[in-house]
Amino acid sequence: MDGIHDLGGKQGFGPVRQQRDFIPFETPWEARMWALSFYVGSSDLTIDRFRHLIELLDPVDYLTHTYFDKWYFSVVTDMVASGSFRDEELKSGRASVAAPPPASLSLAEVLEAVRGYSRSFKREIDDAPIYSVGQIVRTQKYGISGHTRLPAYARNRQGHVIAHHGAHVLPDTNVNGVEAPQHLYTVRFAARELWGLDAAQNDFVSIDAWESYLVRA
Amino acid sequence: MPIHDHKSDVETHRHLHSHLPSDPALRVKALESLAIERGIVTAETLDNWIEAYREHIGPRRGAEVIGKAWADQGFHARLLANAAEAIKELGYEGQATGDLKAVENTDKVHNLVVCTLCSCYPFGILGVSPPWYRSAAYRARAVREPRAVLLEFGVKVADDVEVRVWDSTAELRYLVVPQRPDGTEGFSEEMLGKLVTRNSMIGTDRDLPAVAV
């Protein structure tokens, strides 16, 4: 969707405000939200629905809410939309129906669980890839209204395929829980193809693009 | 799985924004208490997740990987061929490393990683992302004026050095392999790892000194 989240190339932002020696987290509630995000979410909440719910925040909220506050609204919106939580419960912090606590995870068990999160989004499909490494391709001209991962700055631009990664889960459908894997390519653009002559002649930007994001050049 | 209507999701966002306290600390506290009463998770488990990412999982892991790649040619080759598999040799696979790719700096190439559409980051190998990485300014500017952004980080990339910006639009996550500093011949993997900064693995740092700072 043509949302506020699609920030690549937008102008008017000031310098990047850096942090020296950042150690997570900036505030205690952000640490709690980070940890909660591993547990709170309905079965609908794929990585893409999680992202899409953030994209659907009001544009002003998107720009003013901090990173972990956007996570909060993504997971609670999912829980309310799926009927798992009621808004009153979120307000009071009291469950309408209590349940016994699960077993706690020790630090060692958490560290083991982290390793289990190393999941690839690569899938086997029967279709042969349409494009090959070295080929010149063009990206789709128009955006789509739902969740997608082709940034607006890279639409209708010519680049070349520098890698093929096999088929990966398609975000556009995985937002609704349908993996529909497609071949995934890394497409490199000359910065001047994207930004014109202001860009340095030897700068390049690449995106990872699913097959349906591309057309023959 | 239902097909979600994004109009109704937008409506839910609006409704929650108008019904819940504006202070995120209060909302998150209520969410935690609700999750605990519902039997979803315990406070102790949450404490341990936080400790895991404060004390154990962070850029030191990535730095060790780079130190090993500098010292061990075989590992270097495996890392560049398939970083997701190579980091398993150190037991460092984790969140968002399942499709990890390593990209290497050279005298003539500088790599810079960004996620313009959200803030994708290889958490398992670099820990929680620094706030600047998720900032609107970085996400907007890194693809359009990478050399200006790099200058703000104190990195002057020579005109004849190619800048390659990687916008992480898929589940692939990029890890920059910085150049090994001069004057480090004979250093152990461990000594080398100590020279590697978080920013050098994202690409906002380039010439690493031979002495740990």
Q: What is the pLDDT of residue B180?
A: 98
- What's the pLDDT at B5? 80
Residues 6+ apart with CB under 8 A from B180: B70, B192
pLDDT of residue A80: 97
Q: What is the pLDDT of residue B197?
A: 97
Q: Which 48-67 residues of chain A touch chain B by CB within 8 A?
A: 49, 51-54, 56-58, 61, 63, 65-67
Q: How is B108-125 classified by DSSP, letter by letter?
A: TEEEEEE-SSS----HHH
Please report the pLDDT score of residue A180 as a whole number: 98
pTM for the complete prediction?
Answer: 0.97
Residue A77, chain B, CB below 8 Å: the answer is yes
Cis, bond preceding A38 (omega within 30 deg of 0): no
- On average, the pLDDT of chain B sits at 96
Give the pLDDT confidence of B72-130 residue by residue, as tens digits. Answer: 999 999 999 999 999 999 999 999 999 999 999 999 999 999 999 999 999 999 999 99
Minimal-distance CA residue of chain A relative to B54: A24
The average pLDDT across A193-202 equals 97
Q: A118, B95: Cβ pair inside 8 Å?
A: yes
Which residues lie closer than 8 Å to A3 by C-beta, 6 or more apart? A55, A56, A59, A62
Q: What is the pLDDT of residues B40-68, one digit of tens each?
A: 999 999 999 999 999 999 999 999 999 99
| Interface membership of B130 toward A (CB under 8 Å) | yes
pLDDT of residue B2: 63
> Could you tell me the pLDDT band of residue B6, with boundaries at 50, 70 and 90?
confident
Instruction: Please name which of B165, B164, B156 lies closest in space to residue B138, comparing C-alpha atoms.
Output: B165
* Nearest CB to A93; choose among B29, B114, B198: B29
Does B29 contact A32 at a Cβ distance shorter than 8 Å?
A: yes
Over residues A40-53, the pLDDT tens digits come to 999 999 999 999 99
A119/B98 Cβ within 8 A: yes
Minimal CA–CA distance to B62: which of B183, B151, B173, B166?
A: B173
Residue B1's pLDDT is 53
pLDDT at residue A129 greater than cutoff 90: yes
Residue B208 · residue B184 · CB < 8 Å:
no
Residues A70-103 pLDDT 10s: 999 999 999 999 999 999 999 999 999 999 999 9
Assign residue B186 a region: left if phi > 0, alpha if psi is -120 to 50, beta otherwise?
A: left
Q: Which helix (H) or strand (E) holds B48?
A: helix B43-51
pLDDT at B168: 98
Q: What is the mean pLDDT of residues A143-147?
A: 94
For residue A87, give the 3-state DSSP assignment: helix
What is the CB neighbour count within 10 angstroms for residue A138? 15
Read off the pLDDT of residues B153-199 as tens digits, 9 standing for 90 and up. 999 999 999 999 999 999 999 999 999 999 999 999 999 999 999 99
> Is B158 an interface residue toward A (CB < 8 Å)?
no
Residue B3 pLDDT class (50, 70, 90 cuts):
confident
Distance of CA B34 to the CA centre of its chain: 31
Q: Average the pLDDT over A29-34 and give the result.
A: 98
Q: Residue A23: its pLDDT value, please?
A: 87
A14 reaches B (C-beta below 8 A): yes
- pLDDT recorded at residue B110: 98
DSSP state of A101: P
> How confident is the model at residue A110, as a pLDDT?
97
**For residue B212, what pLDDT is reported?**
82
